Amino acid sequence: MTTVAVKPATMAQALTRALRDAMAADPAVHVMGEDVGTLGGVFRVTDGLAKEFGEDRCTDTPLAEAGILGTAVGMAMYGLRPVVEMQFDAFAYPAFEQLISHVARMRNRTRGRMSLPITIRVPYGGGIGGVEHHSDSSEAYYMATPGLHVVTPATVADAYGLLRAAIASDDPVVVLEPKRLYWSKDSWNPEEPAPVEPIGRAVVRRSGRSATLITYGPSVPVCMEAAEAARAEGWDLEVVDLRSLVPFDDETVCASVRRTGRAVVVHESGSFGGPGGEIAARVTERCFHHLEAPVLRVAGFDVPYPPPMLERHHLPGVDRILDAVGRLQWEAES
Amino acid sequence: MTVMEQRGAYRPTPPPAWQPRMDPAPLLPDAEPYRVLGTEAAAKADPELLRTLYAQLVRGRRYNAQATALTKQGRLAVYPSTTGQEACEVAAALVLEEQDWLFPSYRDTLAVVARGVDPVEALTLLRGDWHTGYDPYEHRVAPLCTPLATQLPHAVGLAHAARLKGDDVVALAMVGDGGTSEGDFHEALNFAAVWQAPVVFLVQNNGFAISVPLAKQTAAPSLAHKAVGYGMPGRLVDGNDAAAVHEVLSDAVRHARAGGGPTLVEAITYRVDAHTNADDATRYRGDAEVETWREHDPIQLLERELTARGLLDEAGKQAARDAAEAMAADLRAHMNQDPALDPMDLFTHVYAEPTSQLREQRDQVRAELEAEAEAGPEGGTHR
């Protein structure tokens, strides 16, 4: 058996590799953003790209997010495939008018004559000790905007696959990169990356019979840990990693909930008006007769993201997840 | 003994001498708007160009009148008129080569039509049967843009992309005086100058952003002066002098095409009509002001010049009017037909492939339509 040495790689390295492979495969792919060139990005995800492909392909732009995304729209109109980096979740807000009024709806406005294959990379979420405006979970804004695809990886392999799929997509894709997983490691062979799957499929990360934890991005490892801890309580939890928030994979999610009969949605984003409300409603509408208990949510609180010294009280952790699982009306079982 | 003294001879290195990055003087606009008609420069103007401009202005005026009438008849949901601004609208389209791109605002349907787009397709947005009625790639005209100044960075990005590919393409982007206060105006001009993108920004300063006059919009000496801050030339032109606007825009396009980078052109003009048919201009300006500008009408200015030089007689005027009338009659005939609507279009172009959620919603509308069809005309439409 020929084996290539599979070394542990970080999520950041897999993202870099995805950009590099996409740029090598297609000269239309252009990377642009703040500090992405000479510095290689503040998280080093674009490291080496300007050197390898030139500054016209990996461009340090002026510091203006609306301008970055707005010019990317024009570039895409002319046949390029811009990959835009928004330096931090909360720094992407100035670009929202371009995103909502143009990027998301150009195909629709023009009856499909003009599509914008733009990838918008957004490092998001907390847990890295970031000061104010560096830790937002902004996915609900993107999800509420028709015309955008929204994906978020939880594993090294998915980081590569989802970013490649996003760049290959003829529709605009927001790739939410969990900041605190950038340095997570996994055995992954960059020379033989897994085939790129189309966007829109969730995956069962851990099979179980008692209840389903529906989650994504930075909360996936937390749910996996919770599922291990739950064994001591006699619960065998299933963990579904959504990977794609838009399109939403009703099929995989509902198949799991129908098997287990119980579900908890877990995310860092606030619960009021957050993704969990939509997910719980969808599951309830489709799986009502299979449910033994209401779908519960474990989410960030409905507060502005707290300062770093308080963030552990805000982020959903193992205990809060187990507490929610404990409230899934098990008394009916006995 | 201080730490510094312990280190011995401490001599701070002086910072590098500050140098200006460029001489701003050549970027400054002239003190007065540039004029051709009624000046010595007029003698040098190409007679054929003046005749073409005249025919286009007459056609443009008629187009504005017809579109306004269609609004009153309920055939258009709304129409932002460019009556009085035809010189800018027409010149913006005429200075471009076939491969160039035009980036219009919602007020610029006349420029879009002058570029060659079918008037019915140009007015689709304002009729309300879809958003963009024309194929942007057919005439290289971006969709009419309603959120102010947001199309300007698109023009910069497209021109930049074309330059990276080595293509000979210039983008001309249109915006109003109010739009210059938007952040996207600033960001677009900054990106364009940093990238030396082949873009021309045409600001039609028509005096008002709906009701707000320029004095409440900016404290700049002129809008053209804003160019200097970005490191690009600013030009000031009489926006009702079609020959002058054409010349200044042509120079700017030539400059961009030759690799000289972007130019900001401010054209001084006046919105003779209200903001739209839904606006009441008497609430913010007097008739006397409007009358002053009617004296400085773009068609009359050009007509005087052409007549004085013996380039236009009554037959010529009549020919221009006849051509405009034919355009208006054709537009009327087409706009008086109800547009074909397909409710399935709601879902067709949101994504390349509809999501399963959109397919479900589409099926719901299809079922509603089938129920309507089954019920027949007596059954009414779904509520």
Handedness of CA B175, B177, B181, B187 (dihedral sign): positive
- The pLDDT score that the predictor gives to residue B1 is 57
H or E stretch at A124: strand A119-124
Question: How large a percentage of chain A has pLDDT more than 90?
Answer: 93
Q: What is the pLDDT of residue B7?
A: 62
Distance from CA of B77 to the nearest CA of A (A): 17
Closest residue on chain A to B190 (Cα): A62
Using a CB–CB cutoff of 8 Å, tell me whether B351 touches chain A: yes
Which pLDDT value is given to residue A334? Answer: 60
With pLDDT > 70 as the criterion, what percentage of chain A qualifies? Answer: 98
Please determine, for residue A134, whether its predicted confidence score (pLDDT) is greater than 50: yes
Which residues does chain A have within 8 Å of residue B154's beta carbon, measured at their own beta carbons?
70-71, 73-74, 77, 102
The answer to whether the CB atoms of B355 and A97 lie below 8 A apart is no
Residue B183 with chain A: CB contacts under 8 Å: 66, 94
**pLDDT tens, position by position, A55-72:** 999 999 999 999 999 999
Contact state of B187 with A77 under an 8 Å Cβ cutoff: no
Six-digit token pair at B257?
A: 């095409």
> In chain A, which residues have their Cβ closer than 8 Å to the Cβ of B150?
70, 97-98, 101-102
Contact check, Cβ <8 Å, A108/B131: yes
Name the residue of chain A whose CA is nearest to B143's CA.
A110
Which of B101, B148, B230, B349 to mutate to test binding with chain A, by most A CBs within 10 Å of its CB? B349
Residue A147 makes CB contacts below 8 A (sequence gap 6+) with A103, A104, A105, A107, A108, A171, A172, B350, B351
* Nearest residue to B275 (alpha-carbon basis) of B224, B373, B368, B206: B206
Read off the tokens for B25. 């003087």
B137 part of contact set with chain A, CB < 8 Å: yes
What pLDDT, on the 0 to 100 scale, is given for residue A68?
Answer: 98
B184 touches chain A (CB under 8 A): yes
Considering the candidates B284, B285, B332, B334, report the single residue annotated as catalytic.
B284
Tokens 């409230």 found at: A327
- Looking at A135-262, which runs of residues are DSSP E strands? 149-151, 173-178, 185-187, 203-206, 211-215, 237-241, 244-246
Q: What are phi and psi of B169, to 5 degrees?
A: -135, 130
How far is the C-alpha of B252 from the C-alpha of B239, rounded, in Å? Answer: 15
Alpha-carbon distance B259 to nearest alpha carbon in chain A (angstroms): 16
The answer to whether residues B345 and A110 touch, using CB atoms and an 8 Å cutoff, is no
Contacts with A, B 149-168, CB within 8 Å? 150, 152-162, 164-165
- Cα–Cα distance for residue pair B267/B248, rounded to 1 Å: 10
Q: Which residue of chain A is at minimal alpha-carbon distance from B194? A: A62
Choose the closest CB to B157 out of A62, A71, A106.
A71
Question: B167 in helix, strand or coil?
Answer: coil
A270: pLDDT strictly greater than 50: yes
Q: Verify whether the Cβ–Cβ distance A107 to B352 is below 8 Å.
A: yes
| d(CA B95, nearest CA chain A) in Å | 21
Nearest C-alpha of chain B: how many angstroms from A10? Answer: 32
pLDDT recorded at residue B383: 72
- Residues of chain A with Cβ-Cβ distance to B357 below 8 Å are 247-248, 250
Q: Whole-angstrom Cα distance, residue A240 to residue A150?
A: 17
Mutate to test the interface with B, among A26, A81, A101, A111 (most CBs of B within 10 A): A111
- The DSSP code for B310 is T
Task: List per-residue pLDDT tens for chain B, 383 residues long.
Answer: 566 566 666 777 888 888 888 899 999 999 999 999 999 999 999 999 999 999 999 999 999 999 999 999 999 999 999 999 999 999 999 999 999 999 999 999 999 999 999 999 999 999 999 999 999 999 999 999 999 999 999 999 999 999 999 999 999 999 999 999 999 999 999 999 999 999 999 999 999 999 999 999 999 999 999 999 999 999 999 999 999 999 999 999 999 999 999 999 999 999 999 999 888 999 999 889 999 999 999 999 999 999 999 999 999 999 999 999 999 999 999 999 999 999 999 999 999 999 999 999 999 999 999 999 998 877 777 67
Contact A112 B162 (CB under 8 A): no
Instruction: Give residue B322's pLDDT.
Output: 98
DSSP B12: P
- Assess if CATH 2.60.40.10 describes domain A203-333: no
- CATH 3.40.50.970 maps onto chain A at 8-187
Tell how far CA B365 is from the center of its chain: 37
Task: Find which of A102, A110, A171 to mutate to test the B interface (most B CBs within 10 Å of its CB).
Answer: A110
Cis-peptide into B339, omega within 30 deg: no
Which site among B344, B345, B355 would you substitute to test the A interface, given the most A Cβ atoms closer than 10 Å to its Cβ? B355
SS3 content of chain A, % helix, strand, coil (to 5): 40, 20, 40
Q: Which of A30, A102, A133, A134 is catalytic?
A: A134
Residue B5 has a pLDDT of 61
Collapsing DSSP to helix, strand or coil, A297 comes out as strand
The closest of B218, B296, B242 to B89, measured between CA atoms, is B242
Distance CA A19, CA A28 (A): 12
Residues of A with CB under 8 A from a CB of B: 56, 61-62, 64, 66-67, 69-80, 94, 97-98, 101-102, 106-115, 146-147, 149, 169-171, 200, 246-248, 250-251
The chain A residue lying nearest B121, using CA atoms, is: A110
User: Cα separation of A68 and A62, whole Å?
Assistant: 8
Amino acid at A6: V
**Which residues of B are less than 8 Å from A169 in CB distance?**
352
* Residues of chain A contacting B160 with CB distance shorter than 8 Å: 71, 74-75
Query: What confidence tier does A1 reach under pLDDT thresholds 50, 70, 90?
Result: very low
What is the rounded end-to-end Cα distance, in angstroms, of chain B?
A: 90
Q: Structure tokens of B332?
A: 């009327």
Q: Where in chain A is the domain with CATH 3.40.50.920?
A: 203-333
Distance CA(A71)–CA(A65), nearest Å, equals: 10
Name the amino acid, one letter, at A169.
S
CB nearest A109 (choices: B143, B162, B188): B143
How far does A97 lie from chain B, in Å, by closest CA? 8
Best probe of the A interface among B100, B117, B158, B169, by most A CBs < 10 A, is B158
Tell me whether residues A73 and B147 touch, CB distance under 8 A. no
Q: Contact A75/B160, CB-based, under 8 Å?
A: yes
Question: Which ipTM did the prediction report?
Answer: 0.96
* CB contacts, 8 Å: A108 with chain B: 131, 349-350
Condensed to tens digits (0 to 9), the pLDDT of residues A21-44 reads 999 999 999 999 999 999 999 999
Q: What angle do CA A183, A186, A189 make, to 5 degrees?
A: 115
A149 catalytic? Reply is no
Asked if A113's CB is within 8 angstroms of B135's CB, the reply is yes
Angle made by CA atoms A288, A290, A292, in degrees to the nearest 5: 90
CATH of the structural domain A8-187, one choice from 3.40.50.970, 3.40.50.200, 3.10.580.10, 3.40.640.10: 3.40.50.970
Nearest residue, CB atoms, B188 vs list A70, A114, A146: A70
Contact state of B154 with A66 under an 8 Å Cβ cutoff: no
* B18 in contact with chain A, both atoms CB, cutoff 8 A: no
Rounded to an integer, what distance in angstroms lies between the CA atom of residue A288 and that of residue B375?
A: 33
